[in-house]
Structures are given as C-alpha cells and as structure tokens.
Amino acid sequence: MKNQKEMRTWLDDMNLDHPLVVAGPCSAETEEQVLKIAHELKDTDVNYFRAGIWKPRTRPGMFEGVGALGLKWLQKVKEETGMKTATEVANAAHVKLALEHDIDLLWIGARSTVSPFIVQEIADALDGTDKIVLVKNPVNPDLALWLGGVERLYTANIKNLGVIHRGFSTYEKTKYRNIPEWQLAIELQNKFPDLPLICDPSHITGKRDMILDVSQTALDLNFDGLMIETHFDPENAWSDAAQQVTPAALVQIMNDLKIRKESSKEAAYNNELNLLRAQIDVIDNSLIEALGKRMKVSDGIGKLKKTGNVSVLQTSRWNEILGKMILEGEQKGLSEEFVLRMFKAIHQESINHQEKILKN
C-alpha cells in the first residue's frame, strides 16, 4: 500500500462537518422494519444505512439473515430516502449480488477477516470496483492479519478502502463484549495514518448504555467515524438486541459527543502540554528501568530454582501478588482490568526469563 493518499479520497470528498456515521439494524428482518428505521434516520447525521443481510452465527439454527431478498429492501431505502446503503459480504456470491443491487459500501466481517482465503476470494470478486470496502478487525488481536486483508484488497485495484475496529474476543470476563485493545488501533493509525478508521461501539460493548462512552473514546483517539446498530424496537430485535439503540437515542448520542481538536496553536497550551509530556517521558524511563531491575531479580530466582530443581510457576505466590496489586492499584486510581493485564504481562516475561535459565 504505497500510495495511501488514494485510499482517503472517498472520505475527503464527502466534506463532512461531523464524524462519518453508518447506522441501521444489526439484521434486516422485514421490508417494513428496514424502511421504518431508514425513514427515521433519513434527516440525521447518518451517512450510510447499514443492515445485515447474511449473518454469520456461532451455532446452527440461529437466525442467519434473510439473504438476497434483503438487498431489494436496501434498494427501496435508497429510492425512498436517498440514503446510501451498506452491508456485510462474506464470499464472492455475496459480492456479486451486492454489486448487482448497487450497494454503496461493503464490509468484510471479523469472522471472514481471519481467513486469507476468504478475503482473497472477496478481493477477486471486487477487483477494480469503485465501491467503498471496509475490513473489520479479525476476532483475535492480530494486526498483521488485519492489515493483510486490506493489502489483498488494495492489490485487487480497490482504492476506496478503510477499516472497522470492533474489538477482540477473549475468554476473560470483562465489561465489554469484545475488548477494545485500543493500542492495536493506534498502532494501525501510526502505520497508515491516511487509512480511514471506523469504530463499531455496538460490537465492542454489547450493551447500548456503553455506546456513548466508547464512541467518545474512539473520537478522542482520532477515529474517522462510527458504525452503530440502530433499531426502532431494540428489545425485540432478531439479533444482538442488547447492543442496538433507537434512532432517537442515536441522535442524542451524536449530540452528546464532543469533537475535540487534534491540536492547538495556542502557545500557553503547547507549553503546558510539552511540560506534562516531558514528565511522562521521565516516568516512562523510570518504569523501563524498574522493569529491567525486576527481571534481573527474576533471573536470580530462576538460577535458584534451577539449583533446587523447583518448577517455575508458583501458583499460590502468583495469586497472592495479584490480589495485593489489585488492591494497591485501586488506591492509586487504576482499574482492576488494567492492573490484571499489566501484571499478567510482567509475570509472563518473568516466566520466560526463568524458563530460559532452566533450559540452559
């Protein structure tokens, strides 16, 4: 992806005075449902009306979408409201049908992004299209796999590209349906700053009452837009009922969001910011220094365990440390989730050091 500027033209050409908004129901259920939601979103900040036509589900027997019939409903949305349309595609057959029905924006879902074979099949079917194609992150936090999907599309002469951040699956219990792993999205932005980045707070949260907070975080991190699932009767939606909002709630969310400047030219602001950043740099250096010292102590423990023929993992000791650190972290204003993830990473690095010593 050498000429990244080509990717951004579709978003630049829209000349929006607000973040890009893609909204509509998780699933197209009936023609009446689709049209009712579209008409309620017609005169809002929504730029693309989305609806799931084919729904990849975890287990058989669940509602898997109405199929190609729903594409005709999306055509009616465009005819009656003038709104542009969007849907997910998971194979070449989906692409062919979506193009025949003049869908404006297509996205590749998280379950499809994990397979290079599927992405390549979709790329081949889309070869040379001027439609907008977005790639959702894979279900697992693998940046190379995510970018690989974009590169396959770019190689197929598809220039109107972008990505959707919908969070990552985890076995751990957290407040999110899919943990955001914001750092991964930030790394992607650093590598490809001109690649449009859309946040899907519906799938990150799994709960409608968290969508505003996650959307605000995304905008604070300079995301270009939001994809929010919207239904006139969320409680009775055929799929993902808990994470959909009403059109009225979506309007309120957009009104409540604060669009912050990326920077300021004011001297006082920049002087204070530079001072605070300098303090962070000093603290970060101290953290690296302290972690280096900790690993040297771990090396010493590893040598001692090797001499005594003792196993690396001491579960009771680890649980004791973790419990203590969570309590101390809370006193310092650190969330339990952050403390857990940080100390698990430190513990794993310590184990790696000790195992290396035992093997040698």
Same-domain check for residues 61 and 172: yes
Largest CA distance in the chain: 78
Q: Is residue 277 part of a domain?
A: yes
Q: Are residues 14 and 59 in the same domain?
A: yes
Count the neighbouring beta carbons within 10 Å of the beta carbon of residue 311.
Answer: 9
273/252 same-domain check:
no
Task: Please report the pLDDT score of residue 2 as a whole number.
Answer: 45
Residue with the larger pLDDT of the pair 245 and 358: 245
For position 93, which CATH number holds? 3.20.20.70
Which domain, by its residues, includes 69?
Answer: 5-256
Distance of CA 218 to the CA centre of its chain: 9
With tokens 């184990």, the residue in question is 351
Tell me the pLDDT tens digit for each residue of 245-266.
999 999 999 999 988 776 677 8
Q: At residue 3, does pLDDT exceed 60?
A: no
Q: What is the mean pLDDT of residues 33-59?
A: 92
Paired tokens of 236: 């009775």
- Pick the range with the lowest mean pLDDT from 32-36, 60-64, 70-74, 202-206: 60-64
Any idea what DSSP says for residue 238? Answer: S
Cβ contact 104:86 at 8 Å: yes
Angle at 117 between CA 198 and CA 145, to 5 degrees: 45
Q: Are 156 and 127 in contact (CB under 8 A)?
A: yes
Binned at pLDDT 50, 70 and 90, residue 1 comes out as: low
- Residue 106's nearest CA partner among 149, 44, 148, 142 is 149
Mean pLDDT of 277-292: 88
Indicate the average pLDDT of the chain: 91
User: Looking at the predicted structure, is the pLDDT value of residue 63 above 80?
Assistant: no
Assess if residue 290 is contained within a domain: yes
Tell me the pLDDT tens digit for each residue of 167-214.
999 877 788 999 999 989 989 988 898 899 999 999 999 999 999 999
- The pair of structure tokens assigned to 133 is 């194609």
Lowest mean pLDDT of 57-61, 74-78, 145-149, 341-345, name the range: 57-61
Residue that is last in its domain, among 225, 256, 287: 256
Q: pTM for the full model?
A: 0.79
Judgement on whether residues 243 and 294 belong to the same structural domain of the protein = no
Q: pLDDT category, 15, cuts 50, 70, 90?
A: confident
What is the C-alpha R_g of the chain? 24
In a domain, 262, yes or no: no
